[in-house]
Amino acid sequence: MVKRTQGLPLNTIILAIIAIVVLVFLILIFTGGIGKFVGQTGQIAPSSNETNNAVCSQYATSIQTQMGTSTDPNTQLQLLANSQYVTSGCSNTYQYSFTLFNGSEVACGLGPNACINLNNGGSNNNNNNNNGGSQSSCPSPPNGIPGCQLK
């Protein structure tokens, strides 16, 4: 005996898929899901300069917090020299002031001619190399802090 099975026509399957897609779309409209999607796609991406400033600000705030855990100004300067704020190049361009435990201030973001040289035995009176355009005079981190001056 031959058994015959009854199947759904292809047209019915396609209509069912379209109905499900329309149903999902209606649910998104009534629950506000479409508004969230349109709102996210309508945002303008920040410029690279704004992004860099945000990253540098985050690095500066982070190292300021770390520096606050030390009472030795030399250790604080070494922490700054080893930080992402300096190694990423933010110290040359992003202006920020750090206050050391002894009350001294480190001003950064002063450009490539400013430098704090840490090679002088770690003494508290670090040399500021400001040699009128000589960029090679500043040692690379962690031996120097480019873009910064001790005030």
Tell me the per-residue pLDDT of 103-150, one tens digit each, with 9 for 90 and over: 889 999 998 888 998 886 433 333 444 444 444 578 888 888 999 998
3-state SS class at 70: coil
DSSP 7: -
Q: Do residues 141 and 80 lie in contact, with contact meaning Cβ atoms separated by under 8 Å?
A: no
pLDDT tens column, 9-29: 888 899 999 999 999 888 878
Residue 121 CB partners (closer than 8 Å, separation 6+) = none
How far apart CA 145 and CA 51 sit, in angstroms, is 23
d(CA 133, CA 117): 16
This prediction has a pTM of 0.57
Cα–Cα distance, 82 to 144 (Å, whole number): 9
